[in-house]
């Protein structure tokens, strides 16, 4: 009746896969602790940068722009927005400055189609992501 090569079947399958992924993300978000939410933001940032790099290499400029915009929104609205500058002291201010810098660099990477700037942004954020993930078990157990 249908073959895998039939365009409408393929498009529907992709739509189902996207819907499944959204449900999975929504379920993760709805059941996540505050610590886990930040981890999801870090992971989303890395995933968006990887997608942007792939789109850049494939010369898919619309996809590249969407991926970079998503990464910038994650940093600006998610990570930066989660900071408590009043209570967080110098560390929160330093992270705020770093996140602002990353957003500017992402914008430049998009404008210049510069993969090396994406790499720089990943290198700036990934150590924070790794540290955040590493303390997860301690946070979940209530030790910190």
Q: CATH no. for residue 40?
A: 1.20.120.340
- Indicate if the alpha-carbon torsion angle 66, 67, 70, 76 is positive or negative: negative
- Can you tell me the distance from the alpha carbon of 12 to that of 14, in angstroms, rounded to the nearest whole number? 5
Supply 58's token pair. Answer: 């494939």
Residues 77 and 135 in one domain: yes
Which residue range(s) make up the domain with 73? Answer: 34-140
pLDDT at residue 33, rounded to an integer: 87
- Per-residue DSSP letter, 45: H
Residues 52 and 97 in one domain: yes
Supply 126's token pair. Answer: 């990934």
- Output the pTM of the full model: 0.79
pLDDT at residue 39, rounded to an integer: 95
Does position 96 have pLDDT exceeding 60, yes or no?
A: yes
Residues 42 and 100 in one domain: yes
Residues 60 and 121 in one domain: yes
pLDDT at residue 137, rounded to an integer: 94
Residues 86 and 24 in one domain: no
pLDDT at residue 75, rounded to an integer: 98
Residues 8 and 41 in one domain: no
Confidence of residue 81 (pLDDT cuts 50, 70, 90): very high
pLDDT at residue 26, rounded to an integer: 57
């Amino acid at each position: 009746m249908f073959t895998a090569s039939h365009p409408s079947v393929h498009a529907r399958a992709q739509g189902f896969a996207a819907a499944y992924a959204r449900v999975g993300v929504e379920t993760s978000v709805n059941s996540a602790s505050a610590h886990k939410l930040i981890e999801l933001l870090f992971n989303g940032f890395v995933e968006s940068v990887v997608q942007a790099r792939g789109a850049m290499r494939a010369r898919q400029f619309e996809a590249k722009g969407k991926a970079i915009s998503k990464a910038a929104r994650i940093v600006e609205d998610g990570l930066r927005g989660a900071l408590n500058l009043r209570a967080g002291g110098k560390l929160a201010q330093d992270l705020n400055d770093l996140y602002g810098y990353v957003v500017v660099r992402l914008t430049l990477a998009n404008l210049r189609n510069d993969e090396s700037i994406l790499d720089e942004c990943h290198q700036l954020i990934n150590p924070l992501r790794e540290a955040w993930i590493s303390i997860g078990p301690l946070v979940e157990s209530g030790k910190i």
